[in-house]
Amino acid sequence: MPVATKGGFYRLSGDLKIFYRKFLAQWFRFLWFIYFLCSDFSNHLAIMEVITTVALLRQRMKEARAAGKQIGLVPTMGALHAGHLSLVKRCVAENDVAVVSVFVNPTQFNDKRDLELYPRTPEADCAMLQEAGCTYVFAPSVEEMYPEPDTRVFDLGAVAEVMEGRFRPGHFNGVAQVVSKLFAMVEPDRAYFGEKDFQQIAVIKQMVRLEGFKVQIVACPIVREADGLALSSRNVRLTPEERKHAPMIADTLFKSVEYARTHTVDETIRFVVDRVNDVPGLRVEYYEIVDGYTMQPVRSWDACEFIAGCITVYNGDVRLIDNVAYRRP
């Protein structure tokens, strides 16, 4: 109970002092909880802007740089899945501004039918990007991206001449065209690419050196389904039967790592090709074991410090790629 003092004021008894101290402590804990809760969901509450013109994209990037913000870029062709979102979330975590481009680039398709069949899901893409905390989505039309034909030919060297470069003529030049345009528009501090497109990362690094872009290329690990299949936008085109057989690609690559411990490079290549080709509906287009930096074939396990195996397989009409590391630096 309060106790009266000489001046007419009241002094709290010992029990009430303890009660009020506990009450105030709990109240402050509650306020801190609300503060951190709001901070944790700030990305989800932020309004993501969808940009369709180069002029507005440049303006937003100019504003961000003027404010001293770090800018990250994730180039995509849409039809997003968990693999793309892993890149976006890392971009959001490491930068003040996260830009994701959603653009099916026609110049990198050497097969017109493949371009026509490539899945497009813009509404679903934007919903996922909003949830992931993306700041800006750049979704231009082909006419906006290429107001006139891009006739540039990049001297990408040997890194672009093997594997995908051999079987998809012009593909990497088209990749260099669109990525160089994006780098010039956004001027990112960092750009994020998935290691599923292993050779593409090496090609983009080469293009960055040639063009003098001041951007850090961040390679991110492959994201896989529970059964090992590498996530790809093209997976949605697989029939149920084809989807059932598709995990054998990754399974074979993983088993080949152990196999390689007691076998030569050439024997390991034969092991992978024969095992995948034995699966109904699967046909290996190529399997190469290469230097992880130069993409050139190796013939011994001690040829360099970084050795990877890169495979392309037709599963019915769907072309799937994957890779595995045998040695890492």
Q: Which amino acids are annotated catalytic?
A: 84
Q: What does the block give as tokens for 292?
A: 């992880």
Q: Are 48 and 136 in contact (CB under 8 A)?
A: yes
Q: Tell me which amino acid residue 150 is.
A: D
Residue 242 burial (CB count, 10 A): 18
Spatial separation of the C-alpha atoms in residues 181 and 187, rounded to whole Å? 10
List residues bridging with 327 in a β-sheet.
Answer: 307
Pairing state of beta strands 97-102 and 71-76?
Answer: parallel
Which of 199, 195, 223, 177 lies closest to 288, judged by CA? 199
Spatial separation of the C-alpha atoms in residues 184 and 143, rounded to whole Å? 17
Which of 47, 108, 42, 124 lies closest to 75, judged by CA? 108
E-strand stretches of the chain: 3-4, 10-11, 49-51, 71-76, 97-102, 136-138, 190-194, 216-220, 282-291, 307-315, 318-327
List residues bridging with 246 in a β-sheet.
Answer: none
